[in-house]
């Protein structure tokens, strides 16, 4: 009797497997969450040290343009001003997005509205390959083609924001295109039918109906592209010139947050001020990435409300 009772009350093998499997899945997802928390915590605590431990003024850090972490100013505070890098980072990002967006929207319109068949057959692989080319290869091509080209036309060294922009343009193009395609595809078919039935031409339909109703999606696409451009390190580092100067024009050597980080973090000693200041740059990168994320969410929410009402 006890034997049977025990057997009946015991979990079956399938149930135990079920619990085990579920637990494993929970652990995996837990690992990812822990990882994200860890990254945020470590980078933030390292990045803040410049301001808490070394008493650098945050405002001064963001708005002055001298980067000499080993020397002190008259008040005994180290001179670290990240403005040139911040300006350069934002310039290349905005310019790249500005150049890439028309191309991306054009390709996306072609893929969804004009020739869906050829779009899927020809352009989908093109976009995928553009994503697949590693960033160092982009950097190498920039170094051996774009930089000499710009040197030839504008004189100077050829390194600078313009070269960075051109390299980033190709790199963010697939990101913006893919997401724009998704948002154009999400426009309901009856919008198109209604517009065409009213006698609008294809372009009128695209311009006045489809692009308008896909605007939140396209904005999201552009922001994702900008996030990629902002965080891209090596390709930019290879063509930007890495001079810690305020960029005077588009063809003078400059330095972005990411390029400064990649070149210098190995040359400084952990825990010293020059090193801490670099971690603050990493913190800026992290915060910008979070900001782009929030922007996307914000647009997504507003877009949804518009569609619902």
Partner 1 sequence: MHPKRTDKIATGIIYAVVATVVAILVFLIGYILYNGVPDITWHFLTSQAQSFSAGGGIRDQLFNSLYLLLLTLIISFPIAMGAGIYLAEYAKDNWITDIIRTSIEVLSSLPSVVVGLFGYLLLVNQLNMGFSILSGAIALTFFNLPLLTRNIEESLNSVPNLQKEAGISLGLSDWKTITKIIVPEGLPGILTGVILSSGRVFGEAAALIYTAGQSAPSVSYTNWNIFNANSFLNPMRPAETLAVHIWKVNTEAVTPDAHAISSGSSAVLIIVILIFNLGARFIGNHIYKKMTAAK
Give the tokens for residue 147.
Answer: 């930089």
Question: Within 199-238, which residues bind partner 1 (CB under 8 A)?
Answer: 200-204, 206-207, 224, 227, 230-234, 237-238
Among 70, 249, 272, 293, binds partner 1 (CB under 8 A): 293
251's enclosing H/E stretch is none
Nearest approach, Cβ of residue 53 and partner 1 (Å): 16
Instruction: Judge whether 213 and 160 are in contact, CB under 8 Å.
Output: no
Nearest approach, Cβ of residue 116 and partner 1 (Å): 13
Contact status: 165 vs partner 1 (CB under 8 A)? no
Contact status: 186 vs partner 1 (CB under 8 A)? no
Comparing CB distances to partner 1, the nearer of 156 and 231 is 231
What is 140-184 written as a DSSP string? HHIIIIIHHHHHHHH-S-S-SHHHHHHHHHHHHHHHHHHHHHHHH
Q: How many residues contact partner 1, by CB under 8 A?
A: 83
Among 1, 4, 8, 27, binds partner 1 (CB under 8 A): 27
Nearest approach, Cβ of residue 35 and partner 1 (Å): 6
Q: Could you tell me the CA-to-CA distances from 106 to 46, 89, 96, 171 in Å, in that order?
A: 43, 26, 16, 16
Contact status: 4 vs partner 1 (CB under 8 A)? no
Among 48, 123, 246, 250, binds partner 1 (CB under 8 A): 123
CA dist., res. 306 & res. 244, Å (int)? 45
Scanning 23-31, 54-62, 147-155, 210-218 for contacts with partner 1 by CB under 8 A, the matching segment is: 23-31
Nearest approach, Cβ of residue 99 and partner 1 (Å): 12
Site string for partner 1, 259-278 (x = CB under 8 A): --xxx-xx---x--------
Nearest approach, Cβ of residue 26 and partner 1 (Å): 7
Helices in 119-269 by DSSP H: which ranges? 124-132, 135-141, 147-154, 161-185, 189-197, 202-204, 211-213, 215-231, 234-240, 257-264
Largest Cα–Cα separation, the chain: 96
Q: What angle do CA 294, 297, 301 make, to 5 degrees?
A: 140
Among 61, 67, 159, 292, binds partner 1 (CB under 8 A): 292
Q: Which residues pair with 64 in a beta bridge?
A: none
Comparing CB distances to partner 1, the nearer of 32 and 197 is 32
Measured N-to-C along each axis, helices 161-185 and 124-132 cross at an angle, to the nearest 10 degrees, of 140
Comparing CB distances to partner 1, the nearer of 72 and 122 is 122
Question: Within 57-96, which residues bind partner 1 (CB under 8 A)?
Answer: none
CA dist., res. 88 & res. 72, Å (int)? 25
Contact status: 116 vs partner 1 (CB under 8 A)? no
């Amino acid at each position: 009797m006890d034997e049977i009772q025990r057997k009946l009350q015991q979990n079956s093998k399938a149930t135990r497997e079920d619990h085990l499997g579920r637990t494993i899945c929970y652990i995996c997802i837990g690992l990812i969450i822990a990882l994200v928390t860890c990254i945020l915590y470590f980078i933030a605590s390292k990045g803040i040290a410049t301001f808490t431990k070394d008493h650098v003024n945050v405002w001064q850090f963001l708005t002055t343009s001298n980067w000499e972490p080993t020397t002190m100013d008259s008040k005994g505070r180290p001179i670290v001003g990240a403005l040139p890098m911040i300006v350069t980072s934002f310039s290349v990002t905005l310019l790249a997005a500005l150049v890439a967006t028309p191309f991306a929207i054009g390709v996306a319109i072609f893929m969804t509205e004009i020739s869906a068949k050829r779009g899927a057959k020809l352009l989908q692989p093109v976009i995928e390959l553009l994503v697949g080319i590693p960033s160092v290869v982009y950097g190498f091509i920039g170094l051996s083609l774009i930089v000499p080209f710009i040197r030839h036309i504008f004189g100077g060294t050829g390194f600078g924001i313009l070269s960075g922009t051109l390299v980033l343009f190709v790199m963010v193009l697939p990101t913006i295109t893919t997401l724009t395609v998704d948002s154009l595809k999400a426009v309901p078919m009856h919008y198109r039918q209604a517009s065409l039935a009213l006698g609008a031409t294809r372009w009128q339909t695209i311009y006045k109906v489809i692009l308008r109703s896909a605007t939140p999606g396209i904005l999201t696409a552009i922001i994702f592209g900008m996030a990629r451009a902002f965080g891209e390190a090596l390709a930019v580092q290879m063509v930007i010139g890495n001079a810690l100067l305020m960029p005077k024009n588009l063809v003078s050597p400059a330095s972005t947050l990411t390029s400064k980080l990649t070149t210098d973090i190995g040359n400084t000693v952990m825990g010293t001020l020059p090193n801490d200041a670099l971690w603050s740059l990493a913190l800026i990168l992290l915060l910008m990435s979070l900001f782009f994320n929030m922007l996307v969410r914000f647009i997504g929410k507003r877009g949804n409300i518009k569609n619902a009402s």
